[in-house]
Each structure stands twice: as structure tokens, then as C-alpha cells.
Amino acid sequence: MAERKSTDSGYDYMLLIPVLILIGLGLVLVYSASSHLAAYRLGDSYFYFKRQIVFCILGLGVMVCAKNVPCTLYSKMIYPLLSVSLFLLILLFIPGLGARVGGASRWLKFGGFSLQPSELSKFSLVVYVAYSMSKKGSNMESFTKGLLPHLLVAGLFMFLVVLQPDFGTAVIIGCWVLMLLFVGGVKFRQLAAVTVLFASIVLLLIWLVRYRLDRLLGFINCWKDPSGLGYQIIHSFLAFGSGGILGAGLGGSKQKLFYLPEPHTDFVFSIAAEELGFLGVVAIVVLFGAFIMRGIKLALDARDLYSSYLALGLTSMIGLQVLVNMAVVMGLLPTKGLTLPLMSYGGSSLIITLLSIGVLLNISSRT
């Protein structure tokens, strides 16, 4: 009965409620994690918090609009979407257009705001793969018709993302594409061969670039160089360890006091662990788990193959980034510079994530 009511009112509350709670919690944690940093850098402790509120309002507006736009429209716009995403990625390499931060050119600056083209690229790839796989049907078993076209398109985007450099996002895209192609019906031996090739390329790119190799070595033994390679993950451990069961309370984090670098972005989950404790971490994991499970349920119940692949693609893309971010801050994976969806500071990531959730809400209303 509850599910029927949510469908009649037009919104799937089993999907929407976890999302709204995570956004609200994210706002609180962004302010707590960034206030001292913003006061020191910019003289305004509310700077990042105020911008995040603006991003939330814009993102929620985009989500409502996407909920009321038929998801089939994206399949008709797929090639313009891919072209715009590709064009924006190329603009990053034009001097004066791509903003270089921390040695990486990942943002296009427009006035006081910036755009991260790789976020739009992920959404475009989800729509493309969903549309293409649903259109090819049984031809997905063919290497030339099923596997190869998707690898070429995804490979081009991954290549441009690696050049930024944004190695973590490229790896996420690669893993996600392999997952979705497996669901789409590509033969297992073909996927196994591509997986081996993909893993070999990843290891080669790590070996050839010193800072990536350093991150891997720091992950293997962070205590060998606690003030260097292991600095970030050790302070993340300290945040988790000092949180205890109930946490230090909102605003009580010590690791945000210039110990953890950029605590409001990549390591916001560590600040949550320190301030909210084990129970808070469990609550956040349960909320993300509820969202992911609901997204998979929508994919299973969708009215057509395209909607099913689209729901699964959007859910798995968001879910994979959640898992990787949580694994990184807990020392289960090397540091990658990936934000936590819905909770970390950042406009492009939040708006594209809420756009994806709006599409999921539209698929739910059509089920």
C-alpha cells in the first residue's frame, strides 16, 4: 500500500527519502568540516557552506525537472550529449580555459563557479550504453557489434580523463562499463580478456607515474612514512578511531583542524566517523544501501529494456563511487581523490548526481 501511494503521488519515497536525508546530513558535515579551513583561507567560515546550499537548490531543481521529463528523451539526445561531453573534456586542454588545481586540469571556470566535465561525461556514457545495449539486443554477444563499439566510446572518454589527469575517475568508468556489459549479455570470455587487458593498462599507468606508485606504496604500508606517503590515510584512521560509538559530536572533530587535507571533499566520511561515531557511520551506510537497493529494484521492474539498463547504470555508477570513497578513507583502497556522492562539497558532482536521481524517479513513476 505504501509503495502504491508513493507511485500515485508521483514520487518514489523509498528512493527520495534516503537521498534527502543524505543531502541534509552532507550540508551539516560540509559546514563542520570546512568552517575552520574557509575562515583561514577566505576569511569567511560560511563560504563553502553557502556555496553548497546553492548547489543543493540547483541540484534539487534539476532533479524535479528530470523527474518530469520522460527518460526516453535522453536516448534521442544521446549523440548530442556525447558530443557536448567530449567537447567540454577537450576544452580542458586549451590554455586559459582549464583551471589547474593541484597539478590537475579538471575544471572549466565560469565567473565564480566551475564545471567538472568528467561528471557530465559519466552521465552521457550511462545513457549511451543503456540505449546501445537495448537496441543491439542479442547482437551483444558479437564482438564487433556488442563489445567493440562500447569499448571504443568509453575508451576515448577514459583516455581524455586520464590526461587531465583524473586516474581514479577513469578507473571507476572502466569498472562500471565492464559491469554493465556483463549484464548486457557480452560473452564471458570476451569480458575476461578485456578485464585482463584493462588491469594490465591500469598497473602500467601506475608504474609509469611516480605519484601513483607512491600512493600504492603508501596504501600497502602507510606507517613506513607517516609524515609523507601515509599522512592522509593515517589521519583518516585517527578520525575513525577517535569517533568511538557515539562520536565527538557535531563540530567536535580534531582532524579537520588542518590535519586531513580537504576534509569537506574527499574525506568528509572520515569527519562523519569522528563526529557521529560508529552509529553515525552505520546510519550513512544503511541510507546509501537503501538507495542502491531501491535503484536495483527499479531496474528489475522497469517497463522496457532501455529503462532497465538506464536505472541499473545510474545506480551502479553512483554506488560504485560510494563504495570506492568509503574504501579509500578506511584504508581498503589507495587514495584516488574521489568525492562521496550527495555528501561531499562540490557543485558538478552534486548536480549530476541529483540529475541521475531525477531520471530514476521518472523511471519509477513509469513502472
Q: How many CB atoms lie within 10 A of CB 175?
A: 16
| Mean pLDDT calculated for residue range 38-47 | 88
What pLDDT is attached to residue 224?
80
Predicted pLDDT of residue 5: 40
Measured from the Cβ of residue 113, the count of other Cβ atoms closer than 10 Å reads: 14
Beta bridge partners of 113: 110
Amino acid in position 282: V
Residue 94 is predicted with a pLDDT of 81
Check whether 210 has a pLDDT greater than 70. yes
- Residues of the chain with pLDDT > 70, as a percent, come to 95
Structure confidence at residue 100 (pLDDT): 67
What is the SS3 assignment for 106?
strand
Q: What is the mean pLDDT of the chain?
A: 87
What is the predicted pLDDT for the residue at 43? 85
Instruction: Give the strand pairing for 113-115 and 98-101.
Output: unpaired
Average pLDDT over residues 231-240: 88
Cβ-based neighbours of 261, under 8 Å, separated by 6 or more:
232, 267
